[in-house]
C-alpha cells in the first residue's frame, strides 16, 4: 500500500524517510514494482533497501504482493495459488476413483506435508514422514506407507507437476509378514483389562476385542465410520477406501465383541460420516497400534503387537471343525487362497478325523 511521505522527514539516504513516531520507512519505486518496509533504525532500513535493490537488479528477487521475495519463493507461492500442494494432489487423486491408498494414510500424509508444493517435497521430507509414522512398527507397515506416497508422486508425474518421483530412492524394507506369535486366552484377558485401564473412553479395548473376534486389519477399523455399522445385525461394512486389497466386504461381529461395541456406541456423533474411533484431537483416526504397544510393554509382552490378534483369530478359526481355506480366505478378506495356505496345517486334525470316519 502506498504511503504518503508528506508528513515524513528526509534522511541522508535516498528512498528512506523518518516517520513522526521515530521509525524509518524504506521505499522502492521503480520498474520492478512498488514496495516499502518499516524499520526501527536507520541503518537497518538502509541495508534492506540496498540489498533489495541489488537482488531486483540482478534477477535474484521480484516484487510480489508488496514484498521483495526470492525468485524461488515467488515461484513456490505461485504454484500454491495454482493448487499444487500435496493436499491438492491428494484431492485430485481421490477424484479419479483410482486412489487405493488407505484414508488414514492419506490423512497422515496431509497432516505432515499437506501445505508443501508437490515439487518442493524432497526425499528427506518423505523419509521424515515415514520415520514419524512407522518407527517401531513392522517392515510391512513401512512398505505400505512408502507405497502410498510413491503412488501419489507417480500421479503427480502424470500431471506434470514433478519430473521425478522422489520416493524411488527410498528402499523398501525386507518383510516378514508371518508374525506367528499367538495370543493365549490368559494374555487376551490381561491385555483387554489393561486396554480398558489405558483408555477410559473404551476405544482401545473395543478395537482389540473386535480384532480378536473378526480378524480384520487395524487400518480397516481406523477407517470405519458410524454409518457403516449395523449393530442390530452385528455387521460392519468396510468400503473400498479402507480395505487393504481395495474390495468392499462385511465384517460379522458376534459375542462379547458385539456387546462391547454396542456399549461403546451409546455415545456417538450425529453425523454418520464420523469415524468410530477418533483421536483426542478430533481430526484423525485413533492410533490403536501405538497405544497398544504401551499396554503390551506394560505387561512385559514386548513381543506382542496388535496385528497378532488377526493371526490369533485366523489360527483359532482354522481349528474349527469343518472350516475350509475358502471360508478362511473370505473371513480374513484376502484375495487368494495362497494368503491363507499357511493355516492349512491347523486343519489336519479335522481332516484326519474325517478320513477315519470315511474308512470306518
Residue 202: which region, alpha, beta or left (left: phi > 0; alpha: psi -120 to 50)?
left
Q: Which helix (H) or strand (E) holds 35?
A: strand 33-39
Read out DSSP for 95-120?
A: HTT---S-HHHHHHHHHHHTTSBGGG
How far from chain centre, in Å, is Cα 68?
Answer: 36
Task: Give the residue-averaged pLDDT of 148-166.
Answer: 90
pLDDT at residue number 2: 46
| Domain range annotation of the chain | 9-68, 86-169, 185-347
Residues 328/340, Cβ–Cβ less than 8 Å: yes
Report residue 82 as a C-alpha cell.
Answer: 495454482
Decide which of 3.40.50, 1.10.760, 3.30.730, 3.10.110 is the CATH code for 9-68.
3.30.730
Task: Give the residue-averaged pLDDT of 223-238.
Answer: 92
Cα Rg, the chain, nearest whole Å: 29
How far from chain centre, in Å, is Cα 146?
Answer: 11
Could you say which architecture CATH assigns to the domain 185-347?
Orthogonal Bundle (1.10)
Give tens-digit pLDDT for 75-120.
Answer: 776 666 566 899 999 998 988 877 888 888 999 999 999 989 898 8
Nearest 5 degrees, angle CA 224-CA 285-CA 92?
Answer: 80
How far from chain centre, in Å, is Cα 347?
Answer: 38
Task: Give the residue-averaged pLDDT of 30-46.
Answer: 87
Residues 206/277, Cβ–Cβ less than 8 Å: yes
Q: SS3 of 12, please? A: coil
- For residues 298 and 300, what is the distance between their CA atoms, to the nearest angstrom? 5
Q: What is the 3-state secondary structure (H, E, C) of 196-249?
A: HHHCCCCHHHHHHHHHHHHCCCHHHHHCCEHHHEECCCCEEEECCCCCCCCCCE
Confidence bin at 265 (pLDDT 50/70/90) = very high
pLDDT at residue number 291: 94
In this predicted model, which residue has the larger pLDDT, 246 or 51? 51
Block residue for cell numbers 521430507: 125
pLDDT at residue number 324: 80
Q: Give the count of beta carbons closer than 10 Å to the beta carbon of residue 218.
A: 23
Q: End-to-end distance of the chain based on CA atoms, in angstroms? A: 98
Q: SS3 of 28, please? A: strand
Residues 242/227, Cβ–Cβ less than 8 Å: no
- For residues 327 and 214, what is the distance between their CA atoms, to the nearest angstrom? 13
Q: Which of 36-45, 63-72, 156-165 has the lowest mean pLDDT?
A: 63-72
pLDDT at residue number 113: 93
Could you say which architecture CATH assigns to the domain 86-169?
Orthogonal Bundle (1.10)
Give which of 102, 95, 99 is closest to 284, Cα–Cα: 102
Residues 346/245, Cβ–Cβ less than 8 Å: no
Read out DSSP for 282-304?
A: SSSB--HHHHHHHHHHHTT-TT-
Report residue 16 as a C-alpha cell.
Answer: 528512506
Give tens-digit pLDDT for 277-315.
Answer: 999 988 789 999 999 999 999 999 878 889 899 889 988
pTM: 0.51
Helices (H) and strands (E) in the chain, counts: 14, 9
In this predicted model, which residue has the larger pLDDT, 176 or 78? 78
Residues 213/313, Cβ–Cβ less than 8 Å: yes
For residue 228, what is the DSSP state?
A: G
Q: SS3 of 237, please? A: strand
- For residues 101 and 89, what is the distance between their CA atoms, to the nearest angstrom? 13
pLDDT at residue number 240: 46
Confidence bin at 6 (pLDDT 50/70/90) = low
Give tens-digit pLDDT for 179-220.
Answer: 568 999 999 999 999 999 999 999 999 999 999 999 898 989
CB burial class (10 A; 0-12, 13-18, 19+) of residue 19? middle
Task: Give the residue-averaged pLDDT of 311-324.
Answer: 85
Report residue 127 as a C-alpha cell.
Answer: 523419509
Amino acid at each position: 500500500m502506498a504511503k504518503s511521505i508528506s508528513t515524513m522527514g528526509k534522511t541522508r539516504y535516498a528512498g528512506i524517510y523518518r516517520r513522526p513516531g521515530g521509525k524509518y520507512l524504506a521505499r522502492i519505486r521503480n520498474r520492478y514494482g512498488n514496495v516499502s518496509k518499516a524499520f526501527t533504525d536507520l541503518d537497518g532500513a538502509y541495508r534492506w533497501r540496498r540489498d533489495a535493490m541489488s537482488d531486483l537488479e540482478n534477477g535474484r528477487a521480484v516484487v510480489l504482493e508488496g514484498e521483495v521475495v526470492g525468485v524461488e519463493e515467488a515461484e513456490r507461492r505461485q504454484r500454491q495459488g495454482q493448487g499444487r500442494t500435496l493436499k491438492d494432489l491428494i484431492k485430485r487423486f481421490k477424484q479419479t476413483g483410482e486412489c487405493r491408498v488407505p484414508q488414514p494414510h492419506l490423512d497422515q500424509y496431509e497432516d505432515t506435508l499437506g501445505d508443501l508444493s508437490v515439487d518442493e517435497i524432497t526425499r528427506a521430507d518423505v523419509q521424515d514422514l515415514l520415520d514419524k509414522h512407522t518407527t517401531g512398527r513392522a517392515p510391512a507397515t513401512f512398505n505400505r506407507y512408502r507405497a502410498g506416497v510413491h503412488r501419489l508422486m507417480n500421479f503427480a508425474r502424470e500431471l506434470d507437476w514433478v519430473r521425478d518421483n522422489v520416493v524411488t530412492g527410498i528402499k523398501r524394507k525386507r518383510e516378514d509378514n508371518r508374525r506367528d506369535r499367538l495370543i493365549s486366552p490368559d494374555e487376551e484377558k490381561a491385555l483387554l483389562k489393561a486396554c480398558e485401564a489405558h483408555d477410559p473412553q473404551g476405544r482401545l479395548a473395543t478395537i482389540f476385542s473386535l480384532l480378536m473376534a473378526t480378524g480384520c486389519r487395524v487400518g480397516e477399523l481406523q477407517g470405519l465410520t458410524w454409518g457403516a455399522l449395523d449393530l442390530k445385525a452385528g455387521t460392519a461394512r468396510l468400503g473400498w477406501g479402507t480395505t487393504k486389497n481395495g474390495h468392499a466386504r462385511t465384517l460379522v461381529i458376534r459375542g462379547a465383541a458385539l456387546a462391547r461395541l454396542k456399549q461403546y456406541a451409546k455415545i456417538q456423533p450425529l453425523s454418520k460420516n464420523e469415524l468410530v474411533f477418533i483421536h483426542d484431537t478430533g481430526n484423525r483416526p485413533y492410533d490403536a497400534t501405538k497405544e497398544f504397544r504401551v499396554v503390551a510393554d506394560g505387561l512385559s509382552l514386548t513381543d506382542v503387537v496388535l496385528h497378532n490378534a488377526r493371526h490369533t483369530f485366523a489360527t483359532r478359526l482354522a481349528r474349527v471343525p469343518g472350516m475350509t481355506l475358502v471360508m478362511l480366505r473370505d473371513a480374513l478378506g484376502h484375495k487368494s487362497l495362497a494368503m491363507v495356505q499357511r493355516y492349512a496345517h491347523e486343519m489336519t486334525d479335522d481332516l484326519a478325523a474325517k478320513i477315519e470316519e470315511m474308512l470306518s
